[in-house]
Amino acid sequence: MNKTILVVEDHKEMRDLVKSVLERDGFSLIYAETVKAGKDFLKHKKPDLIILDLGLPDGSGLEICSLVRGTAGLSKTPVIALTGLTEFKDKKLGFDAGVDQYLEKPIVIEELSLWVKALLRRVELDTRGGTLLTFGDLQICNESYIVKFKGKIIGNLTRREFDLFYFLVKASPKLISRGAIISEVWKTAAVENLVDTHIFNMRQKLPRQLAARIQSVPGIGFRYFQPR
Ligand code: CA
């Protein structure tokens, strides 16, 4: 079955370039030229992967990325951002919004093709089976993205925060370095202080008792510690 890729890009030459290589690779492409058109499409359809231009006529492609990450059934869809914005702060915004991979324009089109295939493979591996992890009073399911603490569901973590939490709990009581967290959770080059930002935000959202179990060891990393 053909995988479907949503390409949100307002620049025709760019769309043609993407089309030339991805259709050759056997993907079905759907195009949108605005944030609104992209969002409308996602109301009814679930593509296998999304390629987003960030500078769109009616806003930023990151709005679409945030929508995807916050929508059940779409939240694991890989997102590649294509952009001419090269400043660090824009990249950081992109990673915060849940972009999986960032390609700067002018893009190397074969590189895009490689990333598309790599990210789709990762999703296939991920969805082969969800694991329910029980840790005393804590339960986590990496398929339904549910965290249950003392029987209560904690439902407000972003996908990235969830992945980070899941990784720490799974590795518990091992101390995990920022670098290891980045390669497991971001699966791409990212800056280390993103980890701290995400840990901070995640702690704010967890019940205090649970948040306290995420320990930071200055200069080294983080761990989840389950009391006996
Ligand atoms: Ca553009």
100-125 pLDDT, tens digit each: 888 888 888 889 999 898 888 877 65
| Section 215-219 average pLDDT | 89
Q: 189 alpha carbon to ligand 1 midpoint, in Å?
A: 24
pLDDT the model gives residue 87 = 64
Per the CB < 8 A criterion, the answer to whether 139 and 170 are in contact is no
Q: 66 alpha carbon to ligand 1 midpoint, in Å?
A: 18
30-49 pLDDT, tens digit each: 999 999 999 999 988 889 99
- Measured CA to CA, the distance from residue 181 to residue 192 in angstroms comes to 9
Q: 18 alpha carbon to ligand 1 midpoint, in Å?
A: 14
**Is the pLDDT at 201 greater than 80, yes or no?**
yes
Contacts of 186 (CB under 8 A, 6+ apart): 95, 160, 194
- Measured CA to CA, the distance from residue 51 to residue 7 in angstroms comes to 5
147-164 pLDDT, tens digit each: 888 878 786 788 888 899
Alpha helices for the chain (secondary structure H)? 12-24, 35-44, 61-69, 88-96, 109-127, 159-171, 178-181, 193-205, 208-211
Query: Residue 223: pLDDT band by 50, 70, 90 thresholds?
Result: very high
If one compares 79 and 219, the residue with the highest pLDDT of the two is 79
If one compares 130 and 161, the residue with the highest pLDDT of the two is 161
If one compares 228 and 67, the residue with the highest pLDDT of the two is 67
Q: 58 alpha carbon to ligand 1 midpoint, in Å?
A: 10
Average pLDDT, the chain: 86
- Measured CA to CA, the distance from residue 98 to residue 114 in angstroms comes to 19
Q: 27 alpha carbon to ligand 1 midpoint, in Å?
A: 22
Whole-structure pTM value: 0.58
Q: 84 alpha carbon to ligand 1 midpoint, in Å?
A: 8
Going from the C-alpha of 133 to that of each of 58, 130, 136, 143, 144, the distances in angstroms are 42, 9, 10, 11, 12
**Is the pLDDT at 224 greater than 90, yes or no?**
yes
Instruction: Please give the domain boundaries of the chain with CATH numbers for all domains.
Output: 4-126 (3.40.50.2300), 132-224 (1.10.10.10)
Q: 227 alpha carbon to ligand 1 midpoint, in Å?
A: 51
Q: Tokens representing 219?
A: 């200069």
**Is the pLDDT at 90 greater than 90, yes or no?**
no
pLDDT the model gives residue 17 = 94
Q: 54 alpha carbon to ligand 1 midpoint, in Å?
A: 6
Query: Residue 227: pLDDT band by 50, 70, 90 thresholds?
Result: confident
pLDDT the model gives residue 52 = 95
Q: 52 alpha carbon to ligand 1 midpoint, in Å?
A: 9
